[in-house]
Every structure is written in C-alpha cells, then in structure tokens.
Structure 1
Amino acid sequence: MINDRIKPQTLLSTLWAFVLFNMIFRDLHQLGKKSFIEEIMAGVVNGIKITDELMLFGGFLVEIPILMMLLSRVLRDNANKWANTVASVITLLVLVSALPTADMDDIFFMIIEIMAFLSIIWIAWKFSTPDTIQARS
C-alpha cells in the first residue's frame, strides 16, 4: 500500500511541506471566526498582545518547515538526521506551548502535526547511515 521506494530525503521533505500546509491552514481557518478577527483588530489574540517581536518569532517558526523542505533533500545523512530531529523538537515544543489557549480545531491540527513530527524523527533516525560508510560504497 505504501510506496517503499521513496527516498527518505524525499519523504522527509514532503512531511515538512505537510506540516507547513497544516500550520498555514490552521491560521487561515481561524479567520472564519468573527471573534478572531475582532481580536486581531484589537491587537490581542488569545490574551497575547501581538508585538513586532512576536511576529518576528512567528516568522522564524514558520521558516523552520520551509528551510527543512530544502535541507532534508540536500544534507548528508548524519546532518539530515540531526537537523530534522532538532527542527522537529523545537517546532513541537512551540506547538505544545499553545495548549493552554487551544480550542478544538487547534487541538485537531496539533494532533496531526505531532504525528508528522514523530514520523519525521522516526524516518530521520531509521533511514540514516553514517556518511563515512556511504562514502566508501
């Protein structure tokens, strides 16, 4: 049923695109709530004041999946394993930090993204081989 001939790098890159689409759609999905638009207009969302620094932090956070789509394809195996793991853990921790203010749709997207992050970590570690062994082959 699952294509086992997909290169791990391609699968990792695709999973990062999947995470990014979920992050973007979750944010766009919130725009359907009248109260959300009112919060944005007031500059306070879920009790958090929207500042330039917070927007910059959000930019860094969304840049992680964008960067990992590229890095998953070009890094050597050992670097790929660590980059995917660190990026997943960082993004996962920020995602879980939103739990206190999460509503039902947030939790829905969070569960999907958590499964994707766990898959990314599992694939990165399962299919990586030391670069030195690969270089000799």
Structure 2
Amino acid sequence: MLADHKVNIKSKLTAHWACLMFLYIYADYFELKTPGKIEQIMKLKTPVGETTPGLLVIFSLILIVPSLMIVFSVLLKPKINKWSNIIVALIWSTMSVLIIIGELDDLGGWYTFYLLYQIVEVLVFGSIIWHAWRWPKHKVNL
C-alpha cells in the first residue's frame, strides 16, 4: 500500500495560490497568440484603455497580491492567514467573475480559451475559500 500523508492547510493554500499564478501566466501567454494582440501591445492599447504608468501599477497589484499570498500562506499566523486567504480569494474571484461576464459575448471566438482559464480560476478561488474556512482547530483538553 502507498502511504497517503496528510497535507497541512498552509501547504494546501500555498499550492492553490501557486496554481493560480500558473493559470494567470499561461492565460496571458496564450493571449499573445490571438489576432492583433501584439499590434495592440505595440500601440499601448489594453482592454481597459491606453497603457499608462498608473494602469501598469494597477495591473502589477493584480498579480503581486496573489504572488504574495503564496508566501503569506506559509508565514502568517493561522487566524490572520485564514481570513486573508478568504478575503483576497473573494475579491479576486469577484474580479474573475466580472471578466467572465465581460467575455461572454466572445464565446466561441478567439477568447474561449481565456474564458476557460477564468472559470478554472474561480474554481481554485472557491477551493481556497473552502479550505481556509475549514481551517483545522486544535482541541483544548481541560
């Protein structure tokens, strides 16, 4: 029989956030292969308008926070860790759902792959929330 060791909650949450970062990176990488995308980048166009230093800061924060959650999921104390995972996952999953709603009109087109990534991201966020919510408690012996 193969041993099945219990994985602690911090490792589970860390793995989830790392998974999300791979999903983000590959979705953006494949998006570069859609018609006209490179030309839009060269013209400093984004889906939300012209590229500006402020917009790049916003885009950076959107990726910095989940990146930091990989580290925070290991380092933070349990109570702060639990709630930071729940809160960040709720906020970022809401952003993903809004992106999905915005892309529904392109279903069947070039961005169907992107919609797939967004759906998987929402599922991973849901799993983060579920695992964090069910954070194991120590039994206190009286």
Whether the TM-score (by the shorter chain) exceeds 0.5 is: yes
2:113 alignment partner, one of 100, 105, 108: 105
Native 8 Å contact 1:20 1:66 kept in 2: yes
Deviations along 1:35-78, one digit per CA (max 9) or x if unpaired, are: 11111112223362222111101111101111111111111221
TM-score, normalised on structure 1?
Answer: 0.85
2:128 is aligned with 1:127:
no
TM-score, normalised on structure 2?
Answer: 0.82
Cα distance in 2 for residues equivalent to 1:115 and 1:27: 18
2:44 is aligned with 1:40:
no
Native 8 Å contact 2:103 2:115 kept in 1: no
Q: Which has the higher helix share?
A: 1
Partner of 2:67: 66
**Considering only CA atoms, is the larger Rg found in Structure 1 or Structure 2?**
2
Cα distance in 1 for residues equivalent to 2:78 and 2:62: 24
Deviation at 1:97, TM superposition (A): 2.7
Cα distance in 2 for residues equivalent to 1:63 and 1:136: 41
Structure 1's consecutive aligned runs of 4 or more residues displaced over 6 angstroms after TM superposition are 134-137
Native 8 Å contact 1:88 1:120 kept in 2: yes
Partner of 1:87: 88
Tell me, which stretches of 5 or more residues in structure 1 are unaligned? none
Q: 1:108 to 1:118 in 2, by over 3 A?
A: same
